[in-house]
Amino acid sequence: MDSPTCGQNRVSVIIPTHGARNPERLTHMAKQIAPATEVIIVYAPLCSHQADIECVAGAKVVAAGKHATASECHAIGAQHATGNVLLFLPEEGIFPPASLRKYIAPLQRDYDLVLSAGGRVLTKGRLSTVRCACALLNDLLGQKQLGSASLETAPFSLTRTALEAIGPHHLQVPATALVSAVQKGLAITTVAPASRERKSSAANQGVAKAKSLIFQEHAKAIQLLLQDQNVRGALPDGERHRILVQVPGLLHLRSVFYQHSREKEGDGWGAKRKERAKRARKRVQSRPKRSH
């Protein structure tokens, strides 16, 4: 069993894999990040006939369900981690250890969560819809400085305290995990994304999460955020009511209307104008006619 001192100094590196041919290389890379490093490989096979990874020298191997997403593997690995700092890596590359240490340094300066800086929403004239969703959520959270950074993208790191505040199982839905981190007042920063030294050799590259699932998760996160703050995100809006309705799996801003006007006039848009015109006609008709 590890001593408390060892646990406090240990960095737990969590790597999801869907069939890397040489996990030993990934383990060797992770071991160079810090003097006391715990490596956890979360193995999620893509098909039933893939051979199980039972043991990798210097690493703890944890099994995940078939077709598990990287986010689900992150949550599983976090539950097995014992270090005071957790660093999550993708399987699709070998990184220089120095470029990964920058994810650990801010945690020693009172930060709780370190994300990879997000790229531009508009690149080469094309709109990145996933980055738009991430940027929108960050803006609504009051964290516009994060840009399109997200827990969807590894590498990222967090402290043991931050993990306990968020809850390890919540990492399987990165968008809601980020909402929880902000609501609990965790200190979040970004660093330039680590540059890959080379591509790792993998029988099957990591399974990318479907865009539709990412959008659904961000819609759920925004819905939870608005429910917590109120329909206007804690911003005043006079007499207007902005209605969010559930439309098969998506949130949709349906309409903006003046509740007071509709209740009083009962005639929808333009009711006040119609009522004024009606009163003007009555005044004209009620005037006594002059005799000649």
C-alpha dist (Å) from residue 193 to 107, 114, 116, 119, 289: 16, 11, 5, 9, 84
- Could you tell me where the DSSP H helices lie in the chain? 4-9, 23-31, 70-80, 97-101, 129-140, 160-166, 174-183, 211-229, 259-265, 271-286
d(CA 65, CA 63): 7
At residue 235, the pLDDT reads: 54
Q: Which of 97, 11, 12, 6 is nearest to 60 (CA)?
A: 12
pLDDT per 10-residue tile (average), the chain, 292 residues: 53 86 83 92 71 72 86 94 95 87 93 92 77 92 94 95 95 96 96 76 56 92 78 52 49 46 50 78 76 56
At residue 277, the pLDDT reads: 82
DSSP state of 155: S
Give the pairing type, strands 156-159 and 126-127. Answer: unpaired
- The model's pTM is 0.73
DSSP state of 77: H
d(CA 179, CA 190): 16
At residue 221, the pLDDT reads: 93
Listed in sequence order, the residues at least 6 apart from 209 whose beta carbon sits closer than 8 Å to its beta carbon are 69, 70, 71, 152
At residue 230, the pLDDT reads: 55
